[in-house]
């Protein structure tokens, strides 16, 4: 099968969740011989997990407590997710073996993450201006845990559903972190009496992030999604945390709860790729507008590409000073 597009699960999840996104971000699209590579820049805002992005009262840049500003909360969320993914693993248990990742250099200690390479086919969109050929996407997805018992009963493919459930017992682990409540009940209180209400509230406050979690899990073929609820041990300390609870969900069931429709998710990706159908080979930037719920596609001038390449070579040739 011919591969038309290459992208990571993080990039695809970003596109699929773009209708819920409130912040601005950009992706790089490179078209070579009618093949498309979708990537992000190093240090991109996409590497940070947003907190309460879709809340009626999102974190403010000028918050009095610096720990509750968007960037600080985002980095805190990244650390929490990284740590939780290690803590849910059974110590001393036999690990599932995968081929060594080719991008790990000698002497490095790779994280306990499995990378799965999967191929998806997006059918043509309806409409007079849409391309009539299917598009094959090769993606690298991350898996954080594996159950010792495979779920053959979950193995299925559904007509019109490009997500493939393979019943392999793969698990996607992620977390939500509580920020300082403003006149609302704490998570500790809600978990004791109103668990359903807590999830409903977080679906509203973190719609984009939860959709990214679920779409990433589906792309990776994870049957289960384990969602942790984590709070600070002390409100003014963002280093020490408490795991209040971890809920297990069937990935598809959680997707339905948050209103995720696979055909719509892949439709967004297909619409972006159709924009490049008649474009010449070259480099492009897809920008999520910072003020409107739209995305814009820009062509990168050759002079800019040459300047970026020259700057990169100059940085590589710099020697550290004593």
Residue 265 lies in a domain: yes
* Token digits of residue 290: 């910072």
Question: 30-53: b or e for each residue (b if 16 or more CB lie within 10 Å)?
Answer: bbeeeebebebeeebbbebbbbbb
**Segment 109-128 mean pLDDT:** 83
Give the residue from 124, 158, 135, 142 showing the smallest Cα distance to 261. Answer: 158
Compute the distance between CA of residue 50 and CA of residue 97 in angstroms, rounded to an integer.
Answer: 32
Residue 316 lies in a domain: no
Residue 315 lies in a domain: no
**320 vs 13, more confident:** 13
Contact predicate 266/162, CB 8 Å? yes
Residue 149 lies in a domain: yes
Q: Quick one: pLDDT band at residue 320, thresholds 50, 70, 90?
A: very low
Highest mean pLDDT pick, 6-10, 124-128, 154-158? 6-10
**Segment 308-315 mean pLDDT:** 51
Compute the distance between CA of residue 177 and CA of residue 283 in angstroms, rounded to an integer.
Answer: 37
Residue 35 lies in a domain: yes
Which parts of the chain are beta strand (E)?
5-8, 26-32, 35-39, 114-122, 135-143, 145-146, 170-177, 224-234, 237-250, 282-288, 295-299
Residue 317 lies in a domain: no
Residue 48 lies in a domain: yes
pLDDT at 253: 94
Give the CA distances from residue 259 to residues 108, 163, 177, 187, 310, in Å, rounded to whole numbers and listed in that order: 40, 15, 22, 23, 46
**What pTM does this model have?**
0.87
Instruction: Say which range, 153-167, 218-232, 268-282, has the weakest mean pLDDT.
Output: 153-167
Number of domains in the chain: 1
Residue 230 lies in a domain: yes
Compute the distance between CA of residue 39 and CA of residue 194 in angstroms, rounded to an integer.
Answer: 41
For residue 289, the enclosing domain spans 5-304
pLDDT at 163: 64
């Amino acid at each position: 099968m011919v591969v038309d597009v290459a992208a990571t699960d993080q990039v695809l999840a970003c596109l699929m969740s773009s209708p819920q996104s409130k912040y601005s971000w950009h992706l790089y699209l490179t078209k070579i011989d009618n093949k498309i590579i979708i990537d992000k820049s190093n240090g991109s805002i996409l590497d940070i997990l947003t907190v309460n992005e879709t809340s009626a009262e999102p974190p403010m840049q000028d918050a009095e407590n610096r720990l509750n500003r968007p960037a600080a909360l985002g980095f805190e969320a990244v650390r929490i997710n990284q740590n939780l993914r290690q803590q849910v693993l059974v110590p001393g248990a036999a690990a599932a073996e995968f081929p060594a990742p080719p991008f790990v250099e000698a002497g490095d200690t790779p994280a306990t993450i499995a990378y799965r390479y999967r191929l998806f086919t997006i059918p043509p969109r309806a409409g007079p201006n849409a391309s009539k050929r299917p598009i094959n996407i090769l993606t690298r997805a991350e898996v954080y845990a594996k159950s010792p018992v495979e779920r053959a009963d979950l193995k299925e493919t559904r007509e019109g559903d490009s997500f493939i459930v393979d019943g392999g017992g793969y698990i996607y682990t992620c977390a939500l972190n509580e920020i300082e409540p403003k006149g609302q009940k704490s998570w500790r209180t809600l978990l004791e009496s109103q668990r359903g209400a807590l999830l409903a509230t977080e679906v509203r406050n973190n719609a984009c992030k939860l959709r990214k979690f679920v779409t990433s899990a589906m792309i990776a073929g994870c049957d289960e999604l384990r969602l942790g609820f984590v709070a600070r041990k002390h409100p003014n300390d963002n280093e020490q945390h408490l795991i209040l609870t971890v809920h297990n969900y069937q990935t598809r069931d959680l997707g339905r709860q948050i209103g995720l429709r696979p055909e719509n998710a892949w439709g967004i990706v297909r619409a972006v790729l159709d924009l490049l159908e008649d474009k010449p080979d070259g480099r492009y930037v897809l920008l999520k507008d910072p003020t409107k719920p739209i995305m814009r596609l820009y062509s990168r001038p050759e002079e800019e590409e040459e300047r970026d390449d020259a700057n990169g070579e100059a940085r590589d040739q710099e020697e550290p000073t004593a």
